[in-house]
């Protein structure tokens, strides 16, 4: 419990205008974007304005033993940003400055509360490119992206957030402000603490500055929709494109349930009777190479009995469909009161098998599952849409999720390709990491945060 003395000290650190304790202000912090999980509000929401303030708060938390849950925009889909044990939510939205974009060294230096899409716009104005593009990027923060190592539609060719973080400033649980990694392209000084912190989901430190690498913005891109009458053919096309040594920047799939829900919500002209659509984009800096890839991808689609390939004629045509895809979560939420977005990821060659497993599970457990995903990198997002007030259905969902994770792990895959473990996938961690693997996580956590103040109850 936060007693009045502790609250007074927190208020002295950040100023009273940055501490919120009224129930109506706290209510929404009991949730993030994860549906079907119930938590309780924190005792206070605190919005610090500097690393020094965060350091003082963490020192106090260690002394008084209250939990601190770092939070960006709260778009986590694994319950990562939910407080479980009271204490404070530490929101980073005042730390929202792009401190520097270094054109000479192709790096940028930002605070964690910067909105991802805003950062994209600023670097692109300079002809530069920061590829990680989670579907939530219009609202998500770079700090949340780094803490979750988020991916996105461009992950296949360009990788995920992890691949772009060069250095970090982190406030450690005991209050030390440390700078790890750096600004250089190469850095092997000491353990790779930067990698440890990326994806640590707010459990090992509070990220207060981020140095990322940038790329030149590709000058040419072509995008298309490949429409299939058979889901299996679409799945086989994904493997065939990559086996033909073409790496599109986007290679996403939508099954029929996804197509219908997205079309109903966005009205972008998707064919409702198609069993699957692939969203494909090729890009690069040499127009002839991009055009050649476009041609070859179309030929592969033909080999696998595509019904039609629609190549976008204008950037607006592409944006319309890509935007609808990004808004798909809202579309699925209209189908019922709960949508669990799973995140199973398998080796690319196993994508057709995983798609079949998901389809069979929907049938076996009589569930609505709308699947889309960054299929080119094996990352599937089956959306299980159900009524959380129907106990029988909830049981069926739980069984389907168990079976889905078991199948993914058996195929050499993983529980989460990009959404993180947080709360919802915690029970399954042992399946993938085993007891010894979990013990390594526990020893790292205990060494860095022996009082367990940072985001307790998450990850393992
Ligand atoms: C519509 C929608 C689409 C999405 N699409 C994608 C997608 O394509 N790819 C993908 O990977 N994810 C996706 N997500 C999930 C989510 O948006 C990402 O995980 C995102 O990176 C979270 O950012 P955030 O600012 O909202 O972080 P939050 O949800 O606030 O926090 C996420 C985690 O990071 C920790 N954290 C936040 N800030 C800090 C900090 N400064 N220091 C330490 N820890 C911190 C939190 O404690 C929590 O564990 C989607 C979510 C939604 C709702």
pTM for the model: 0.94
Q: Quick count: other Cβ atoms within 10 Å of Cβ 336?
A: 16
Distance of CA 232 from the midpoint of ligand 1 (Å): 32
Which ligand 1 atom sits closest to the C-alpha of 113? Answer: 41
Distance 307 CA to ligand 1 centre (A): 37
Q: How far is the CA of 74 from the centre of ligand 1 (A)?
A: 6
pLDDT at position 180 is: 97
Q: Whose CA is nearest to atom 15 of ligand 1?
A: 76
Per-domain residue ranges of the chain: 4-91, 98-216, 219-330, 335-425
Question: Residue 163 C-alpha to ligand 1 middle, in angstroms?
Answer: 16
Q: Which atom of ligand 1 is nearest to the CA of 417?
A: 11
pLDDT at 246: 95
Residue 141 pairs in a beta bridge with 115
Predicted confidence at residue 1, as pLDDT, reads 75
Give the architecture (CATH level 2) of 219-330.
2-Layer Sandwich (3.30)
Distance 424 CA to ligand 1 centre (A): 14
H or E element in which residue 250 lies: strand 250-255
The answer to whether the 4-91 and 98-216 domains have the same CATH topology is no
Q: Which atom of ligand 1 is nearest to the CA of 161?
A: 11
The CATH number of domain 335-425, selected from 3.50.50.60, 3.30.70.2740, 3.40.50.720, 3.90.600.10: 3.30.70.2740
Pocket of ligand 1 (CB under 6 A): 32-33, 69-77, 80-81, 92, 112, 134-136, 140-141, 143-145, 147-148, 150-152, 201-202, 206-207, 329, 418-419, 455
How far, in Å, CA of 419 to CA of 374, rounded? 13
Protein residue with least CA distance to atom 1, ligand 1: 136
Element (H, E) at 118: helix 116-125
| Contacts of 308 by beta carbon, 8 Å cutoff, 6+ apart | 226, 227, 271
Give the number of the atom of ligand 1 that is nearest the alpha carbon of residue 76.
Answer: 29
What is the pLDDT, as a whole number, of residue 316? 83
CA of 185 to the centre of ligand 1 (A): 26
Per residue, the 3-state secondary structure of 286-341, as one string, reads: CHHHHHHHHHHHHHHHHHCCEEEEEECCCHHHHHHHHHHHHCHHHHHHCCCCEEEE
Q: CA 210 to CA 51: how far, in whole Å? A: 12
Query: What pLDDT score does 185 carry?
Result: 86
Residue 212 neighbours by CB under 8 Å, 6+ apart: 107, 108, 110, 130, 142, 164, 165, 166
CA of 37 to the centre of ligand 1 (A): 16
Residue 77 alpha carbon, nearest atom of ligand 1? 15
Could you tell which of 135, 252, 279 is best to mutate to test the pocket of ligand 1, judged by most ligand atoms within 8 Å of the CB? 135
Q: What is the CATH number of domain 98-216?
A: 3.30.465.10
Concatenate the DSSP letters of all residues of 149-204 into one string: T---TTHHHH--GGGGEEEEEEE-TTS-EEEEE-SSS---SSS-HHHHHTT-TTSS
pLDDT of residue 320: 82
Atom nearest to 95 CA in ligand 1:
41
Q: What angle do CA 303, 307, 309 make, to 5 degrees?
A: 85
**pLDDT at position 333:** 86
Q: Out of 3.40.470.10, 3.30.43.10, 1.10.3720.10, 3.40.640.10, which CATH number does the structure's domain 4-91 have?
A: 3.30.43.10
Q: How far apart are CA 203 and CA 172, in angstroms?
A: 10
If you measure from the C-alpha of residue 75 to the centroid of ligand 1, how many angstroms do you get, rounded to a whole number?
Answer: 5
- What's the CA-to-centroid distance between 191 and ligand 1, angstroms? 25
Instruction: Give the residue whose CA is nearest to atom 9 of ligand 1.
Output: 134
pLDDT in 10s for each residue of the chain, 460 residues: 789 999 999 999 999 999 999 999 999 999 999 987 878 899 999 999 999 999 999 999 999 999 999 999 999 999 999 999 999 999 999 999 999 999 999 999 999 999 999 999 999 999 999 999 998 999 999 999 999 999 998 999 999 999 999 999 999 999 999 999 998 888 899 999 999 999 999 999 999 999 999 999 999 999 999 999 999 999 899 989 999 999 999 999 999 999 999 999 989 899 999 999 999 999 999 999 999 999 999 999 999 999 999 999 888 888 888 888 888 888 888 888 898 889 999 998 888 889 889 999 999 999 999 999 898 889 999 999 999 999 999 999 999 999 999 999 999 999 999 999 999 999 999 999 999 999 999 999 999 999 999 999 999 8
Distance 456 CA to ligand 1 centre (A): 17
pLDDT of residue 127: 97
């Amino acid at each position: 419990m936060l007693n009045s003395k502790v609250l007074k000290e927190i208020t002295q650190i950040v100023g009273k205008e940055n501490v919120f304790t009224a129930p109506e202000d706290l209510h929404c912090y009991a949730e993030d974007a994860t549906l079907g999980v119930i938590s309780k509000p924190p005792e206070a929401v605190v919005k610090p304005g500097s690393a020094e303030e965060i350091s003082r708060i963490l020192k106090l938390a260690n002394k008084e033993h209250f939990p601190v849950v770092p939070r960006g925009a709260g778009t986590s889909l694994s319950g990562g940003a939910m407080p479980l044990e009271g204490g404070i939510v530490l929101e980073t939205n005042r730390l929202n400055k792009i401190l520097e974009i270094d054109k000479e060294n192709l790096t940028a230096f930002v605070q964690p509360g910067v909105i991802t899409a805003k950062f994209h716009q600023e670097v692109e104005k300079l002809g530069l490119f920061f590829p990680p593009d989670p579907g939530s990027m219009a609202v998500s923060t770079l700090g949340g992206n780094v803490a979750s190592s988020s991916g996105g539609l461009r992950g296949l060719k360009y990788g995920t957030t992890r691949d772009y973080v060069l250095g970090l400033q982190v406030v450690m649980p005991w209050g030390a402000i440390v700078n790890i990694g750096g600004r250089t392209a190469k850095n092997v000084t000491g353990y790779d603490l930067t990698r440890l912190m990326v994806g640590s989901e707010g459990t090992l430190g509070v990220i207060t500055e981020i140095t990322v690498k940038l790329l030149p913005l590709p000058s040419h891109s072509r995008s298309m929709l490949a429409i299939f009458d058979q889901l299996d053919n679409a799945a086989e096309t994904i493997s065939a494109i990559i086996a033909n040594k073409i790496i599109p920047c986007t290679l996403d799939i939508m099954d029929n349930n996804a197509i219908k829900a997205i079309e109903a919500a966005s009205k972008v002209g998707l064919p409702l009777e198609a069993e699957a659509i692939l969203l494909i984009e090729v890009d690069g800096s040499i127009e002839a190479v991009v055009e050649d890839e476009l041609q070859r991808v179309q030929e592969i689609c033909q080999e696998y009995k595509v019904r039609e390939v629609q190549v976008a004629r204008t950037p607006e045509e592409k944006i319309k469909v890509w935007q609808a895809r990004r808004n798909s979560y809202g579309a699925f939420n209209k189908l019922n009161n709960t949508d669990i977005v799973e995140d199973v990821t398998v080796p690319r060659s196993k994508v057709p098998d995983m798609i079949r497993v998901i389809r069979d599970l929907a049938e076996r457990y009589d569930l609505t599952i709308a699947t889309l995903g960054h299929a080119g990198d094996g990352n599937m997002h089956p959306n299980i849409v159900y009524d959380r007030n129907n106990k029988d259905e909830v049981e069926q969902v739980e069984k389907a999720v168990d079976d889905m994770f078991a199948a993914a792990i058996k195929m050499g895959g993983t529980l989460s390709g990009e959404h993180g473990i947080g709360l919802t996938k915690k029970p399954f961690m042992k399946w993938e990491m085993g007891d010894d693997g979990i013990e390594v996580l526990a020893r790292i956590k205990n060494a860095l945060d022996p009082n367990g103040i940072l985001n307790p109850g998450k990850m393992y």
